[in-house]
Amino acid sequence: MKILVIRFSSMGDIIYTTPVVRCIKTQLPDSEVHFLTKPAFRYIYEGNPYVDKLLFLKPTLSETLSDIKAEQYDLIVDLHNNLRTSIIKFRTGIKSYTYKKQPIRKWLSLKFRLKLVKPIHLVERYLKALRPLGIINDGKPINYYLKKQYALAELLPLSHQDKYIAFVIGATHFTKRMPNDKIIEICKQIDLPIVLLGGEDVKANGAEIVQAAGNKIYNACGSTTLDESVFLVSKAERILGFDTGLTHIAEAFDVPIGSIWGGTVPELLGVQPYQVKEAEIMGIALSCRPCSKFGLEKCPRGHFKCMKTIPNEWLVNFANNKENK
């Protein structure tokens, strides 16, 4: 059986398709599995032994449709479920199984602070679509395959090459990030050296944190590739991170994760840490939270309490391997 799995974005959502693809490939061993996504996310599946071929969304949907038709698939597994994938399924006429997003329940849950969506992980929500094929969850973590073997000496100063805490300070939206002054207060109380991780957009934030909190912090934001950053989280003693792709990718390596949540909540989208032996979700209950599904550029109420009032000791104790009471 030749199967096409589709998920176009985003990084975290695609990462959580990896257990699904693995289960298809291992439980249907005679299947040929292809994966269709945007070119920007090819790195997630490069080197993945459970995918036989990667396809990429072309500039026009007609070009993508031509590629799909040429492959003569027996089955489409639609893990995105949007207008574009609906057109693909209709225009190709290929038998398909589709992930149900529950958009109305999610909208009502967000708008009226109701809990209409069960806190089931996205992996399980994806797999539910494949029940007719007899596919079941294998209970293993997500997959990410490093593109090369790195050495810590290539990426970190000598002072940080033994044991360190990885702190992922980047995130796409403001309401997912913690203010610099609060990060500085927390870093000053962490015992081990700290490596700050994130993209070019938070490089200046990292520099400000280092200047205020001292040399036990190394700012790797903007100076490492994503793959190098993944390597660094894989070698950390513990990880602190916001709701962002790198924090989710880190789950592939079963390093203890302190998952920090501001204006978004993990249970709504089902993206709480998956198959990690030690993980702690850090977020406070507020009448205005969650304010969005994916994050906003500013706090709608102007106070940003969801991040500012998370107790510092929660993060400090987690990083120092002390129990939070």
249 in a structural domain: yes
| Same domain membership, residue 161 and residue 205 | yes
| Same domain membership, residue 28 and residue 58 | yes
DSSP string, 193-208: -EEEE--GGGHHHHHH
| Same domain membership, residue 71 and residue 41 | yes
Strand order in the sheet with 2-6: 53-56, 32-37, 2-6, 75-78, 96-98
In the chain, the number of structural domains is 2
Report the pLDDT value the prediction gives residue 229, as an integer from 0 to 100. 97
Report the pLDDT value the prediction gives residue 325, as an integer from 0 to 100. 63
| Same domain membership, residue 169 and residue 74 | no
| Same domain membership, residue 126 and residue 18 | yes
What is the DSSP-derived secondary structure letter of residue 242?
A: E
| Same domain membership, residue 289 and residue 192 | yes
Report the pLDDT value the prediction gives residue 324, as an integer from 0 to 100. 77
For 84-107, the pLDDT digits (tens) are 999 999 999 999 999 999 888 888
**pTM of the full structure:** 0.94
How many other CB atoms are found less than 10 A from the CB of residue 38? 13
For 242-259, the pLDDT digits (tens) are 999 999 999 999 999 999
Q: Is 187 left (phi over 0), alpha (psi -120 to 50) or beta?
A: alpha
For residue 85, give its domain range.
Answer: 2-133
- 194 phi, psi to nearest 5 deg: -125, 135
| Same domain membership, residue 180 and residue 119 | no
Q: 82 near 99, Cβ under 8 Å?
A: no
How many other CB atoms are found less than 10 A from the CB of residue 93? 8
| Same domain membership, residue 183 and residue 81 | no
Report the pLDDT value the prediction gives residue 104, as an integer from 0 to 100. 86
| Same domain membership, residue 122 and residue 182 | no
Q: Which two structure tokens, joined as six digits, stand for 240?
A: 């602190």
d(CA 249, CA 256) in angstroms, rounded, equals 13
pLDDT tens track of the chain, all 325 residues? Answer: 999 999 999 999 999 999 999 999 999 989 999 999 999 999 999 999 999 999 999 999 999 999 999 999 999 999 999 999 999 999 999 999 999 998 888 888 888 888 888 889 999 999 999 999 999 999 999 999 999 989 999 999 999 999 999 999 999 899 999 999 999 999 999 999 999 999 999 999 999 999 999 999 999 999 999 999 999 999 999 999 999 999 999 999 999 999 999 999 999 989 999 999 999 999 999 999 999 989 999 999 999 999 999 999 999 999 999 987 6
What's the CATH code of the domain at 229? 3.40.50.2000
d(CA 232, CA 152) in angstroms, rounded, equals 8
